[in-house]
Amino acid sequence: MHQTFKSISYAIFLISCIASSIVKAGTTTKPIEPKTELNVKYLFVQNANYATIEPVKDKPNTYTITLKQISPLVIFISDRPNRKTGQLPVEQFIKLWESKGSDSFKDNPPNAVLSSVHNSLFFSDKNANYGFELSSPSYDAKTKTLSYTAKGLEGTSVVKESQTLEHISLFIDDVCLSCWGNASI
């Protein structure tokens, strides 16, 4: 079972590296935008070189996650049967927390998995996968940093002290844009 987890971590890392390379190698930064079609759910991936996880004092199981040297584009993919893919600017992505509705990120924050591979040692004990509920994004395009307030998901390892992680992929739960009105990406 441990070997299976290592294989999955390795596969996630490779997919993230390839996706990040494609984004960086592209000749255009114009994103491909999804259409807000009825009942289409989109999953998101953000890539960064580093991340810090800081416990918030006096708030158990609450953290500040800061992605550093983040890719300026967020990768998205839709659930079956629609099978749509593309990219959108981080600034546009974080606006998803501004709309209201029962399935919106503002009223129903998304789950996410922060995955890192330490020093490119694919099967190191320092590889990490943490599950969080994300809220309150804050993006600084000049410094290429994005911060979230995050609550640890049940069953996820508790982070007791500040950590810096490398080779980051943040996989973010799906959202149905048409399910809550005027939101679009």
The reported pLDDT for the residue numbered 99 is 80
pTM: 0.74
The reported pLDDT for the residue numbered 5 is 41
Q: Is 34 within a domain?
A: no
Q: Is 31 within a domain?
A: no
The reported pLDDT for the residue numbered 51 is 95
Report the SS3 class of residue 4.
helix
Q: How far is CA 145 from CA 4, 85, 91, 112, in A?
A: 33, 24, 11, 18
Mean pLDDT of 40-50: 93
Among 22, 69, 68, 73, smallest CA distance to 44 is for 73
Query: CA angle 87-92-93, nearest 5°?
Result: 70
Q: Which domain holds residue 52?
A: 2-26+39-180
**What percentage of the chain carries pLDDT values higher than 70?**
70
Q: Is 185 within a domain?
A: no
What's the CA gap between 104 and 72, in Å, rounded?
23
Q: Number of H helices and number of E strands within the chain?
A: 2, 8
Which DSSP symbol is given to 89?
A: E
User: Does 56 score more than 80 pLDDT?
Assistant: yes
| Residue 170's pLDDT band (cuts 50, 70, 90) | very high
Bridge partners for 142 per DSSP: none
Structure tokens of 52? 């810090």
Q: Is 136 within a domain?
A: yes
| Residue 37's pLDDT band (cuts 50, 70, 90) | low
100 vs 28, which has greater pLDDT? 100
State the total domains in the chain.
1
pLDDT, tens only, 100-156: 877 788 888 999 999 987 654 455 556 788 999 999 999 999 999 999 999 999 877
What's the CA gap between 45 and 85, in Å, rounded?
11
